Amino acid sequence: MEASKKDLTETARQVRVELGDRSYDIVIGRSVLGSLGTRFTSLFPGSRAVIITDCTVAGFHLEAAEASLRAQGIIPSVVVMEPGEKTKSYKGLIEACDGVLDTRLERGDLVVALGGGVIGDLAGFVAGIIRRGMRFIQVPTTLLAQVDSSVGGKTGINSAHGKNLIGLFNQPHLVLADTAVLDTLTPRDFRAGYAEVAKYGLINQPDFFEWLETNWQGIFDGGPEREEAIARSCQAKADVVAADEKEANQRALLNLGHTFGHALEGMAEYDSERIVHGEGVAIGMVLAHEFSAQLGLCDPAITDRVVAHLQTVGLPTHIGAIPGQLPKVDLLMDYIAQDKKVSRGALTFILTRGLGQSFVEKDVDPSVLRAFLEEKLN
């Protein structure tokens, strides 16, 4: 058993996020969670750990994470949160901070974020502000977190004014992406994560999108295509982060579909019964392509191709697919006006000129956008 675990760990793929003395590795492969303890002690000998997770993830993966740390003589403390987007809140932040402070860990100790994007964002924020900064490790347990939110250092919580408006950049010291844990996801959550995978092709890698159109089933089935897709997605994000860590310029491209998607999540009050983040991104990417086509920037046939692929994998592609009452256009416009990319009141969107030809448009006419949204809501 030990030999087989070692073999699996040694065949793991690694992607390096190059940020000078803050560089770190993303380790990708089946069963790499079992190497958490050895990697922890190799990087941070003598340090202690607190695991922040949620009660759903804890039921599947906490025992394995604790066992790996204990095997190296580390007895971790554990803070267990409620699952769901609503945990990324002031209330959740206070609860997580108090939980970490109760452990009496010191600045040189580590927070281990064991969970999806919600836990990763929250735990990374907690690590960044407790004792003015603790180190932390990301152990993402969803596809969305493995290819997106665990990489790049964006951490934070939501506000009534919008998503991810309160937070800071805090790079992890290691990302451990065990692709086997994705087998425990619901089909809905796996599909939601896939939206972020498709996003990388639509940003600037049309060959990757074409590969996904052919190989998506292998990703869902857990074949070697899964590791390939995750590694290519992580490399795409690592390259962008290394070039523009604080989103001064081209890192904004990673938000393709997110301005629309975040507004849709906000109007649904972050109710995961109605919409989860990846579903918002899927609908948002379609809206971004449709808006680009309406502006004469993109061939409508490209939008049709994007819609066809997202529908093939089971993702929603229009606002009407969100259960419940549709929002008024004024509400969506309010959320969009609070988007982090807004600069001096000018609306900024990621639009596209074709497949894998996205760009930053820094001054979108609000009246044109309003008319577009009114059409989509009718």
- Tell me the β-bridge partners of 346: 343
Catalytic residue (one of 173, 251, 289, 309): 251
Flag whether 87 is marked binding.
no
Measured in Å, how far apart are the chain's first and last C-alpha atoms?
59
CB atoms under 10 Å from CB of 56, counted, come to 18
161 is catalytic: no
Asked about 318 being catalytic, the answer comes back as no
Please check if 341 is assigned to a binding site.
Answer: no
Q: Is 53 assigned to a binding site?
A: no
Q: Check the annotation: does 103 bind a ligand.
A: no
Q: Annotated binding residue at 119?
A: yes
Contact 349, 173 (CB under 8 A): no
Is-catalytic flag, 258?
yes
In the residue annotation, 375 being an active-site residue is answered as no
Distances (CA, A) of 43 to 23, 38, 67, 161, 238: 13, 9, 18, 39, 20
Catalytic residue flag (residue 196): yes
**Which residues in the chain belong to E strands, given as ranges?**
13-17, 24-29, 49-54, 77-81, 110-115, 135-140, 154-159, 162-169, 175-178, 347-352, 358-364
Catalytic residue among 61, 88, 232, 258: 258
Q: Which of 30, 39, 135, 154 is catalytic?
A: 154
- The answer to whether residue 262 is catalytic is yes
Note if 255 is an active site residue: yes
Residue 152 half-sphere exposure, CB side, CA atoms within 13 Å? 28
Would the annotation count 258 as a binding residue?
yes
* 265 is an active site residue: no
Which residue out of 226, 262, 289, 309 is catalytically annotated?
Answer: 262
Annotated catalytic residue, options 61, 173, 191, 277? 277
317 is in an annotated binding site: no
Is residue 154 a known part of a binding site? yes
Cα–Cα distance for residue pair 192/185, rounded to 1 Å: 10
Per the annotation, the verdict on 289 as an active-site residue is no
Catalytic residues: 132, 154, 196, 237, 247, 251, 255, 258, 262, 277
From the annotation, which residues make up the binding site for NAD(+)? Answer: 117-121, 141-142, 154, 163
From the annotation, which residues make up the binding site? Answer: 117-121, 141-142, 154, 163, 196, 258, 277
From the annotation, which residues make up the binding site for Zn(2+)? Answer: 196, 258, 277
